[in-house]
Structure 1
């Protein structure tokens, strides 16, 4: 069996997150700069040797500059000290009704186990010979588990988001020859 390497296509891949805001509506944000590298056995994603995903905190975008600056600040993500969040895949579970990817997520130097629901979109070979696969990944975390908390009323007014953070990734991987 041969090892196959894949990378995320930055033009067609996106990672977004969603949280309640003021308990009335939702705020959606994106990480504009991501990196994903995957090594599989042949083209079988259920048999992987490595999955490493990173997102640059500085690329966070919620369409509100004041909120983005707060989220990147040392009060919340602390982008200067902890410039990336990182997911490392550990185990793939191929089940009848849903596939799961288990691994660890590190934010602010806090690492916790996490399980992602995975759905494959398909595989194509483009006219230029490039092989691509698509998939979606969904999950959720408690921001408090990663020490993403507010310590004063003024900070809470700026942030005013709920504890549960939901995220969705739409990824296209390109096979590296």
Structure 2
């Protein structure tokens, strides 16, 4: 089978993250602007290479002041590091391993990946859907800002949960 290219459909995709705030509640945010593709020769995506580019300045937590802080040098430094990227290296048994780059730091991460299947939409386009979940330590990527409350609680947890729901369109 020849190699096929699948481009990410942003209107049917989302990139969400969750992080504990003061260790008593969870803040949810997402990125509004991203692109990606998959290259594969397999109908089951066994040999797929996934690529994802996220605009760091597109972060949205439903709070403008917090979003501006997250875009600042204390977190994503969106002005100097406008892209967050992921390129897969291996996909086996529901695990997707790849290089995640945030703020100029690249680390290998492993995500749980569910392939939800392939279908043809009413317009004749072939689409495939995936859901990925994983956790990273934000400090591994240079997102080291921290504060402690008077009671000794950490304001922002080091652990960030990523939830990536994406749909790709066969080219």
* TM-score of the aligned structures, taking structure 1 as reference length: 0.89
- Partner residue of 1:54? 53
> How many residues align structurally?
167
Partner Cα distance (2:134, 2:36) in 1? 17
Q: Is the 8 A contact 2:146 2:155 kept in 1?
A: no
1:71 to 2:70 alignment:
yes
1:165 to 2:160 alignment:
yes
Partner Cα distance (1:107, 1:124) in 2? 33
Misfit runs of 4+, over 2 Å: 151-154
CA shift for structure 1 position 8: 1.0
Q: Secondary structure at the match of 2:53?
A: strand
- Partner residue of 1:89? 88
Counting only pairs closer than 5 Å after superposition, residues 1-177 of structure 1 correspond to structure 2 as 1-48=1-48, 50-94=49-93, 99-150=94-145, 160-176=155-171
CA shift for structure 1 position 160: 2.3
Point out where structure 1 has 5 or more consecutive residues left out of the alignment: none
Q: Secondary structure at the match of 1:43?
A: coil
* TM-score of the aligned structures, taking structure 2 as reference length: 0.92
CA shift for structure 1 position 152: 6.6
CA RMSD in angstroms comes to: 1.6
Q: Is the 8 A contact 1:35 1:53 kept in 2?
A: yes
CA shift for structure 1 position 43: 2.6
